[in-house]
């Protein structure tokens, strides 16, 4: 499902990277169209950063990414970064 992917961690990173690319590409051109493209790029950039999926309501799903992930069944993908590794004291010891 497309909205499920967009609400996932990978989908959020993809939206933010596409948005940032549009912003940088638009600002690198010195024209009105470029500035409009940069402004348009802010939409996916901010939507991914604030965990909002604008296509959710079009498919009968909530607007918030957390609610979409809960409804679709994507558990454990709440944060943009994976969980930090275990501290050295809690790691299992390798026996030789």
| Span 28-58, pLDDT tens digits | 998 999 999 999 999 999 999 999 999 889 9
The CA distances from residue 31 to 8, 20, 36, 45, 69, in Å, are: 35, 18, 9, 21, 39
d(C-alpha 66, C-alpha 11), whole Å = 13
Q: Which of 75, 14, 15 is nearest to 40 (CA)?
A: 15
Residue 41 lies in a domain: yes
Residues near 85 by beta carbon (within 8 Å), at least 6 away in sequence: none
Residue 55 lies in a domain: yes
Residue 10 lies in a domain: yes
Q: pTM for this one?
A: 0.77
Residue 83 lies in a domain: no
Residue 95 lies in a domain: no
Residue 19 lies in a domain: yes
Residues near 40 by beta carbon (within 8 Å), at least 6 away in sequence: 22, 26
Q: What percent of the chain has pLDDT over 70?
A: 83
pLDDT for residue 20: 97
DSSP conformational letter for 89: G
Identify the domain containing residue 54 by its residue range: 2-72
d(C-alpha 7, C-alpha 48), whole Å = 8
Mean predicted confidence (pLDDT) in 75-81: 73
Tally of structural domains, the chain: 1
């Amino acid at each position: 499902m497309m909205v499920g992917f967009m609400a996932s961690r990978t989908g959020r990173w993809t939206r933010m990277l596409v948005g940032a690319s549009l912003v940088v590409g638009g600002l690198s051109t010195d024209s009105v169209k470029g500035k409009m493209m940069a402004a348009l790029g802010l939409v996916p950039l901010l939507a991914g950063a604030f965990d909002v999926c604008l296509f959710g309501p079009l498919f009968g799903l909530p607007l918030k990414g957390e609610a979409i992930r809960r409804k679709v069944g994507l558990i454990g993908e709440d944060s943009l970064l994976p969980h930090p590794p275990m501290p050295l004291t809690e790691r299992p010891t390798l026996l030789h």
